[in-house]
């Protein structure tokens, strides 16, 4: 079982300590293999907004050399752990920058069937919003129902370290079991809606979607409202697809013009 861990803080502080505890627990399982990547080691410049990952493909990103390892590890893993910390009530910029470089994954979601976990810390406020954001990112790449761990300084002071360790070990065990069981996690209606919005948008008249069309075709994603079982929500996805398709074909032309004026 391959697990990818992305350490999102620039230092080996609170977030790293919790994440490392989870990794150590997972490594007690004989079938687990962990790959750890830290944003601090990537030397990743800010996303330049060149849009080539959307239009031509992620391999054309000017920062592809720094990103290549992350991208292939994401594709190869069975489970992924994203960790991040809270700066100004939001995800810290270094981790956000990494996610910006993976934004094409929302247009071309490729991680269906993998399992996720998110870990977020703060000194007192904002870690839950950060965790929610990280979970949303996983969801838009195709990973449903990620396990969430959050901790702020107040909680750290109030809870005994033994109790906290037990709590985190339990979460790690749940994550392991989730991957091992190959259990299906039903997508939320929102995930299906957004997936279908992108499914429809890829067909519109955008100036920058050649790569998306190819991807959706190759994956066979145009054939169904969601790539994994979605139950009755599937119908809502199909309706969303039809609605957005008509809307985006109309709006696509306007957006293409807008992009062209920015060049
Ligand atoms: C620039 C900066 C901004 C921060 N903003 C917040 C904040 O908005 N809310 C909060 O509770 N803690 C904030 N903190 C504290 C960190 O979130 C907290 O110490 C966190 O656990 C640090 O994680 P790390 O040890 O993994 O780096 C901030 C810290 C820094 C350096």
pLDDT in tens, 7-23: 999 999 999 999 999 99
Residues 134 and 169 in one domain: yes
The Å distance, Cα 99 to ligand 1 centre, comes to 19
Atom of ligand 1 nearest to the CA of 16: 26
**Residue 24: its pLDDT value, please?**
97
Atom of ligand 1 nearest to the CA of 90: 8
Residues 135 and 212 in one domain: no
User: What's the CATH number where 61 sits?
Assistant: 3.40.50.360
Inform me whether the pLDDT recorded for 263 exceeds 80. Answer: no
Inform me whether the pLDDT recorded for 207 exceeds 70. Answer: no
Mean predicted confidence (pLDDT) in 128-134: 98
**Residue 252: its pLDDT value, please?**
65
Residues 159 and 208 in one domain: no
**Residue 151: its pLDDT value, please?**
95
Mean predicted confidence (pLDDT) in 177-202: 88
Mean predicted confidence (pLDDT) in 143-151: 95
Supply the range of the domain harboring residue 223.
189-262
Residues 165 and 204 in one domain: no
Atom of ligand 1 nearest to the CA of 152: 21
**Residue 67: its pLDDT value, please?**
98
Mean predicted confidence (pLDDT) in 45-59: 94
Question: How much of the chain, in percent, has pLDDT values that exceed 90?
Answer: 66
Inform me whether the pLDDT recorded for 262 exceeds 80. Answer: no
Inform me whether the pLDDT recorded for 27 exceeds 70. Answer: yes
Residues 137 and 195 in one domain: no
Inform me whether the pLDDT recorded for 101 exceeds 90. Answer: yes
Count of the separate structural domains present in the chain: 2
Is the pTM of the predicted complex or chain greater than 0.85?
Answer: yes
The residue out of 164, 181, 198 marking a domain boundary is 181
Backbone angle region of 6, left / alpha / beta, with phi > 0 → left and psi within -120 to 50 → alpha: beta
Secondary structure of the chain in HEC code, one letter for each residue = CEEEEEECCCCCCHHHHHHHHHHHHHCCCCCCEEEEEEHHHHCCCCCCCCCHHHHCCHHHCCCHHHHHHHHHHHHHCCEEEEEEEEECCEECHHHHHHHHCCCHHHHCCCCCCCEEEEEEEECCCCHHHHHHHHHHHHHHHCCCCCEEEEEEHHHHHHCCHHHHHHHHHHHHHHHHHHHHHCCCCCCCHHHHHHHHHHHHHCCCCCCCCHHHHHHHHHHCHHHCCCCCCCCCHHHHHHHHHHHHHHHHHHHHHHHHHHHHHHC
Q: Which residues have CB under 6 Å of ligand 1?
A: 9, 11, 13-16, 85-89, 121-126
Residues 197 and 171 in one domain: no
The residue out of 151, 181, 211 marking a domain boundary is 181
Mean predicted confidence (pLDDT) in 157-169: 85
**Residue 120: its pLDDT value, please?**
98
The Å distance, Cα 72 to ligand 1 centre, comes to 30
Under the banding of pLDDT at 50, 70 and 90, the label for residue 244 is: confident
Under the banding of pLDDT at 50, 70 and 90, the label for residue 28 is: very high
């Amino acid at each position: 079982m391959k697990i990818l861990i992305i350490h999102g803080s620039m230092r080996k502080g609170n977030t790293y300590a919790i994440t490392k505890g989870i990794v150590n627990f997972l490594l007690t399982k004989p079938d687990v293999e962990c790959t750890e990547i830290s944003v601090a080691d990537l030397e990743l410049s800010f996303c330049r907004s060149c849009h080539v990952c959307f239009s031509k493909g992620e391999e054309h990103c000017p920062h592809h050399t720094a990103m290549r390892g992350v991208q292939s590890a994401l594709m190869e893993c069975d489970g992924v752990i994203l960790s991040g910390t809270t700066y100004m009530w939001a995800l810290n910029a270094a981790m956000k920058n990494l996610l910006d470089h993976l934004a094409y994954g929302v247009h071309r979601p490729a991680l269906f069937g993998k399992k996720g976990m998110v870990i977020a810390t703060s000194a007192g406020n904002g870690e839950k919003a950060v965790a929610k954001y990280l979970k949303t990112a996983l969801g838009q790449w195709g990973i449903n129902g990620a396990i969430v761990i959050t901790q702020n300084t107040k909680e750290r002071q109030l809870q005994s370290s033994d109790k906290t360790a037990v709590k985190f070990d339990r979460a790690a065990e749940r994550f392991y079991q989730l991957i091992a069981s190959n259990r299906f996690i039903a997508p939320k209606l929102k995930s299906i809606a957004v997936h279908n919005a992108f499914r429809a948008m890829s067909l519109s008249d955008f100036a920058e979607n050649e790569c998306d069309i190819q991807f959706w075709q190759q994956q066979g994603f145009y054939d169904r409202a969601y790539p994994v079982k979605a139950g009755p929500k599937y119908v809502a996805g199909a309706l969303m697809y039809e609605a957005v398709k008509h809307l985006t074909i109309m709006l696509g032309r306007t957006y293409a013009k807008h992009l062209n004026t920015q060049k």
